Amino acid sequence: MIARILVAAALTVTAFGASAQVKVGVISSSTGPVSVVGIQQKNTVEILPRKIGSLDVAYVFLDDASDPTQSVKNVQRLLIEDKVDAIIGPSGTPGAMAVLPFIAEAKTPLLAPVGSTAVVLPMDAQRRWVFKTTQNDDLVMNALFGELKRSGTKTVAFIGTSDPLGENFEKAARIAAEKTGIKIVASERYARTDTSVTGQALRILSANPDAVLIGTAGAATILPEVTLVDQGYRGRLVQTHGAATPEFLKLGGKKVEGTLLAASPMLVLDELGDDVPAKRVALSYIGLYKAKYGTEPGTFGANVFDAGLLLERAVPIAAAKATPGTPEFRAALRDAIESTRDLVGAQGVYNMTPEDHSGFDARSVVPIVVKNGKWTLLK
């Protein structure tokens, strides 16, 4: 009985929505382990375009609590209940991988702000519907391992969190290591909320690697690095773009000085020449975000901002062919996104083809070092 009443109530609350508008679902991880990524993304939704051409755009936001299963539930809801025209999200690769079959069945475009190329490669009937708006993990790893190789590094130890994030970074690192002939001599795991990684750090020290790569995101990136420094590790410390948050510099302080990472040029805008096309868009995004929230966004929010730019360009094209809310519109929208050429986003320039839905090229990742407590372009 109660069940039915609740369902009825849920329906009345969610079912309203005018049809003369474009509906976009957004899923991000604003709670849980990926929340460092997800909260910026959630905040960015508020500054996405509310109007594209003559069409109103409505956004339906859902949090997946960093849980791929919740991503699937959310996608089902957006597809069945809200009948969205496109989805931006989820924040994490496993979530995106999990929703693939549902996206393809519903023939709805997905703009995935995730790192792993696995969501768009190999191109097949399911992945036709997916577009990626983040630097590929392998771009990041290639940049890192390229730099390591250049500086003569032979051995690397990996330490990452025991969650999807850490696991993905390890996979990507192994591939990049193989390509560059660098050996991974230790691979350790820790939980995001662990308060000590002494054992893992000792293990790494005993393997004596030239560099240590830390694969996770947000505040959890700091503990292994600081522990290693405290134990007297003298090799090179390497982070992914997961560390590209203000907290990293603030909490790490002097101990993270000299850390190498590879991330979006957005981190070092001041050092970029005006000839870099993304600079203008990035500045405008940062301006919008700062005006609304008072703080600067990290690079993860920009992935969602760029998804908005892709839609802003594609929606009018699709609207010329079909009415929003119809399968025809969703198909036309997909085709329009696939035809994107030279679109300048906050982190790079998008060029989509039927074979390549990942958009960015190597220019979207730059090597960065921490110098005097600031991100500095490695030259």
Contact residues: other proteins, CB under 8 A: 1-4, 6-7, 9-11, 13-14, 30-31, 35-36, 39, 42, 45-46, 61-63, 67-70, 72-73, 76-77, 80-81, 93-94, 97-101, 162-164, 166-168, 188-200, 202-203, 206, 218-220, 222-223, 226, 245, 247, 251
Please identify, using beta-carbon distances, which residue of 54 and 206 lies nearer to other proteins.
Answer: 206
**What's the N-to-C CA distance of the chain in angstroms?**
67
CB of 35 to other proteins, least distance (A): 4
CB of 133 to other proteins, least distance (A): 20
CB of 308 to other proteins, least distance (A): 16
Please identify, using beta-carbon distances, which residue of 94 and 348 lies nearer to other proteins.
Answer: 94
**DSSP reduced 3-state for 304:** helix
Alpha helices in the chain (DSSP H): 2-14, 35-45, 68-76, 93-106, 137-150, 164-180, 198-207, 222-230, 246-252, 278-293, 299-319, 327-338
**DSSP reduced 3-state for 116:** coil
DSSP secondary structure code for residue 357 in this structure: -
113-124 CB burial, b ≥16 within 10 A, e <16: bbbbbbbbbeee
Please identify, using beta-carbon distances, which residue of 97 and 343 lies nearer to other proteins.
Answer: 97
CB of 181 to other proteins, least distance (A): 25
Q: CA quadruple 246, 252, 256, 259: dihedral positive or negative? A: negative
Question: Which amino acid type is present at position 264?
Answer: S
By CB atoms closer than 10 A (0-12, 13-18, 19+), residue 266 is buried
List, in order, residues 6 or more apart from 10 with CB less than 8 Å away: none
The Cβ of residue 86 has, within 10 Å, a number of other Cβ atoms equal to: 30
59 pairs with which residues across the strands?
A: 24
CB of 62 to other proteins, least distance (A): 7
CB of 219 to other proteins, least distance (A): 3
- Of 182, 137, 138, nearest to 158 by C-alpha is 182
Please identify, using beta-carbon distances, which residue of 10 and 283 lies nearer to other proteins.
Answer: 10
Tokens of 270: 């001041």
CB of 66 to other proteins, least distance (A): 8
By CB atoms closer than 10 A (0-12, 13-18, 19+), residue 341 is exposed
Tokens of 363: 């220019």
CB of 15 to other proteins, least distance (A): 8
CA distance 227 to 283: 36
Q: What is the Cα gyration radius of the chain?
A: 21
Q: What share of the chain is helix, strand, coil (3-state, %, to 5)?
A: 50, 20, 30
Please identify, using beta-carbon distances, which residue of 319 and 370 lies nearer to other proteins.
Answer: 370
CB of 7 to other proteins, least distance (A): 5
CA distance 127 to 140: 22
Total count of residues recorded for the chain? 379
Please identify, using beta-carbon distances, which residue of 3 and 291 lies nearer to other proteins.
Answer: 3
Angle between helix axes 93-106 and 164-180 (nearest 10 degrees) is 100
CB of 269 to other proteins, least distance (A): 22
Please identify, using beta-carbon distances, which residue of 209 and 345 lies nearer to other proteins.
Answer: 209
Please identify, using beta-carbon distances, which residue of 65 and 317 lies nearer to other proteins.
Answer: 65
Please identify, using beta-carbon distances, which residue of 301 and 345 lies nearer to other proteins.
Answer: 301
**What are the φ/ψ torsions at residue 42 (nearest 5 degrees)?**
-60, -45
Please identify, using beta-carbon distances, which residue of 33 and 265 lies nearer to other proteins.
Answer: 33
